Amino acid sequence: MANTVLIGAQWGDEGKGKIIDVLTEKVDWVVRYQGGSNAGHTVEIGSERYVLHLVPSGILRPGTRNVIGNGVVVDPLALVKELGDLEQRGVNLAGRFFLSDRAHLVMPYHSLLDASREQAASAKTKIGTTKRGIGPTYGDKAARTGLRAGDLLDELFPDLLKRRVEEANRVLGAWGEAPLDYARLLADCQAATAKLAPYITDAIPLLNEAIARNESVLFEGAQGTMLDIDFGTYPFVTSSSATAGGACTGAGVAPHRIDRVIGVVKAYTTRVGEGPFPTELTDATGELIRKIGHEFGATTGRPRRCGWFDVVVARYSAMLNGIDAWALTKLDVLDAMPVIKICTAYECAGQRLTSVPANIRQLERCTPVYEDFPGWQCKTTEATSFAELPAGAQAYVRRLEELTGVKVGILSVGPRRASTMQLWPLAG
């Protein structure tokens, strides 16, 4: 299979884990390139359910090798736990899992600062973060005060950590938080290092040499385009590059090594946390979508906000990421709807907008322009080919393709591996 970037085209939780799991059947390597344990990919294999936060989903396919790239921020204690859980369930990691020595470390002070900032924020400025320390860790990276996975192996690590903890304790004190115990944190880090050391490596030659040997790579995006630090609904975003470009900087692979980009979109839209969401449904229909779609965060368990499919967002995402095909997920969640709405544009102060404005105050004032679509009101979950779908569901998919200008390459109508159809061959 070609080298592929797979990204979320909405606000995250599009069902990337499941699509990645299906695609990994054909790839040699799976790479995470941004985000941290704020992500939560759920994969169901038979009766087994796996929730992965840091480890790439390819770990569940025995023939696949998996890399956490330099663009990811890694909580070493959380990673040790995740790896331990996988090993306990019989997943072999030796020679199959690698952690870039350039990946930045999430330390307990980052999570404490994340939580303190959120707690001190007003209802209007609260971001609704996962409180996993993501923002403060990327903040330290940009401020050049971060610690990286490779530092864990350095004899100077105790000194580096000491300086960081002293500074963090001054900041935590200003937020009214108790200081962190350096000795205890060092001991925790050393225990984690003992487990992680065999996996920490320079992932740049590892990946580029694999590509030179014609091995295929799947770059697994986390979160979604509308949460991207540059292109999302800033400041209600995460702190990393969740768009396709992030794959190059977050993995150390050149742009011309990427062959294609697949964008994952749900047949409707969800968002967790605060921030503008033009097609949000705060009524019984939104509640119904949440219930049928089990729309609760994999990482925090928070109920997700639900709404109709937003073509403005999808087109923006297609343009930014250069999306070659959609992986359209959770079509079955709409099975019972008598009427389905598709947002084709926004109305804002008498103006019609067809692109996402940068200014979130403007976006908040936008009202969606809807096209009504008749529901098919029968089950799609058992379908194994496009032709087996009810005519209404087929028409809905075709309409989304028409409005977004991108074809649906993969269609998912249920959580199982078997409920995923490939509408055109992805091999090669």
Is 39 near ligand IMP (CB under 6 A)? yes
CA distance 389 to 395: 10
From 161, 272, 327, 363, residue interacting with ligand IMP (rule: CB under 6 A):
272
Catalytic residue among 13, 114, 310, 335: 13
- Identify which of 36, 38, 32 has the alpha carbon closest to the alpha carbon of residue 58: 32
Smallest gap from residue 370 Cβ to ligand IMP (A): 24
Stretch of 21-29, 38-46, 313-321, 377-385 contacting ligand IMP, by CB under 6 A: 38-46
| Per-residue binder mask for ligand IMP (CB under 6 A), 78-117, x = binder | ----------------------------------------
Smallest gap from residue 273 Cβ to ligand IMP (A): 2
Is 13 noted as a catalytic residue in this protein? Answer: yes
Torsion 25-388-333-270 (CA) sign: positive
> Which residue has the CB atom at the shortest distance from ligand IMP?
273
Is 10 near ligand IMP (CB under 6 A)? no
* Structural contact between residues 278 and 368, judged by C-beta atoms closer than 8 angstroms: yes
**How far apart, in Å, do the first and last CA atoms of the chain sit?**
5
Please report where in the chains the tokens 């950590």 appear, as a residue. 161
**Tokens at residue 241, please?**
């590059």
For residues 118-177, which are near ligand IMP according to CB under 6 A?
127-130, 132, 134-135
Stretch of 32-40, 69-77, 97-105, 307-315 contacting ligand IMP, by CB under 6 A: 32-40
**Tokens at residue 371, please?**
């096209």
Is 15 near ligand IMP (CB under 6 A)? no
Q: Nearer to ligand IMP by C-beta: 305 or 341?
A: 305
- Identify which of 386, 368, 276 has the alpha carbon closest to the alpha carbon of residue 331: 386
For residues 194-233, which are near ligand IMP according to CB under 6 A?
222-223, 227
Tell me: cis bond preceding 56? Omega within 30 of 0 counts. no
Is 294 noted as a catalytic residue in this protein? Answer: no
Q: Nearer to ligand IMP by C-beta: 210 or 227?
A: 227
Catalytic residue among 28, 41, 53, 104: 41
Smallest gap from residue 413 Cβ to ligand IMP (A): 22
Helix (H) or strand (E) holding 66: strand 65-68
* Structural contact between residues 349 and 361, judged by C-beta atoms closer than 8 angstroms: no
Is 265 near ligand IMP (CB under 6 A)? no
CA distance 137 to 112: 11
CA distance 129 to 26: 34
Smallest gap from residue 400 Cβ to ligand IMP (A): 21
Is 27 near ligand IMP (CB under 6 A)? no
Query: Total residues contacting ligand IMP (rule CB under 6 A)?
Result: 20
From 1, 3, 5, 12, residue interacting with ligand IMP (rule: CB under 6 A):
12
Is 73 near ligand IMP (CB under 6 A)? no
Smallest gap from residue 241 Cβ to ligand IMP (A): 12
Strands (E), 276-322: 305-307, 309-310
Q: Would strands 217-220 and 4-8 be described as parallel, antiparallel, or unpaired?
A: parallel
> Which residues, 6+ apart, have CB-to-CB distance to 290 below 8 Å?
296, 303, 304, 306
| Per-residue binder mask for ligand IMP (CB under 6 A), 302-341, x = binder | ----------------------------------------
Helix (H) or strand (E) holding 86: helix 76-88
| Per-residue binder mask for ligand IMP (CB under 6 A), 226-255, x = binder | -x--------x-xx----------------
* Edge-to-edge strand list for the sheet holding 29-32: 200-201, 97-100, 65-68, 29-32, 217-220, 4-8, 260-266, 325-329, 408-412, 420-422
Residues annotated as catalytic are: 13, 41
Residues that bind ligand IMP (CB under 6 A): 12-13, 38-40, 127-130, 132, 134-135, 222-223, 227, 236, 238-239, 272-273
